Amino acid sequence: MSHITLIRHGQANSTATDEESYDKLSDLGHRQAAWLGEHLQETANHHSRLFTGTLTRHQETANSMGMEIEPVRDARLNELEYFTMAQLLEDQHGIPFPHEQGAFSTHLPTVFTYWRDGKLEGAPETWDEFHTRVEDALQEIAAEPGPALVVTSGGLIAMAMAQAMGLDIPAQARVALAIMHTSMHRLFPIGGHWSPVLFNAVPHLDRPDRRQAQTHI
């Protein structure tokens, strides 16, 4: 198994309340991605393969990173449809979408729980389908030789970490909420199983003039 470094996309449209309007990088998101690409080049981080989801924000992040590797696009690396399921939660169970940042700490695990339990009628995919596509995609990437970069989204990264660590839904939601834009998360195979050896690393943003660029939303 080869090791994989998961990267969350750059900051997207933080004022969005639906999937389509969220799916584009902000100006800051492009800068975050460019800084990450510069960091990888300056520190001679060697990755022979690059994968992305098929969402616009994934592809824009990979492009702004300026890697010399042609990316492989795989829809299995796309994000869960949080806005869609949040609307289903409100329509079917009367639980409103949060309007202030602190409320997401209870809203996200609620969405995950209703989704896992099959209580969101019309969800784009089931919890088990999401779990399986993440696992299958990463296992296939790891089966080929050479370290790989995977540009994806926070929910998928949280699922990968939950699978590696056996996390329950509250812990998985806390992981998802902690993940910063263009952060790096490395899974390394130890004893035939994934072990996280890097989580939420943003060395390219960890300097006084860029700390305000350490964003979650």
70 has pLDDT over 80: yes
- In the numeric block, which tokens belong to residue 7? 């990267």
User: Which letter, b or e, does each residue of 82-96 get, where b requires 16 or more Cβ atoms within 10 Å of its Cβ?
Assistant: bbebbbbbeeeeeee
What are the backbone dihedrals phi and psi of residue 177, each rounded to the nearest 5 degrees, phi first? -70, -25
CB 174 within 8 A of CB 168: no
141 has pLDDT over 80: yes
pLDDT tens column, 16-45: 888 999 999 999 999 999 999 999 999 887
d(CA 74, CA 196): 22
128 has pLDDT over 90: yes
Note the pTM of the prediction, 2 decimals: 0.95
Minimal CA–CA distance to 217: which of 182, 183, 180? 180
Confidence band of 62 (pLDDT split at 50, 70, 90): very high
Q: Where are the beta strands (DSSP E) in the chain?
A: 4-8, 49-52, 72-73, 148-152, 184-190, 193-201
Residue type for position 90: E
pLDDT for 2 equals 86
What is the CATH architecture of 4-80+125-147+156-213?
3-Layer(aba) Sandwich (3.40)
β-bridge mates for residue 188, sequence order: 195
d(CA 75, CA 92): 28
Confidence band of 149 (pLDDT split at 50, 70, 90): very high
1 has pLDDT over 80: no
Task: Tell me which residue has tokens 């990088």.
Answer: 25
137 has pLDDT over 80: yes
Average pLDDT score over residue span 182-205: 94
d(CA 5, CA 10): 15
Domain coordinates of the chain in residue numbers? Answer: 4-80+125-147+156-213, 81-124
Distances (CA, A) of 75 to 49, 56, 154: 17, 11, 15
Residues across the chain: 217
Average pLDDT score over residue span 40-64: 93
Confidence band of 138 (pLDDT split at 50, 70, 90): very high
CB 27 within 8 A of CB 47: no
pLDDT for 12 equals 96
d(CA 181, CA 10): 5
| Average per-residue pLDDT for the chain | 95
CB 185 within 8 A of CB 201: yes
Positive or negative, the CA dihedral 71, 214, 161, 146 is positive
pLDDT for 144 equals 94
Average pLDDT score over residue span 73-93: 97
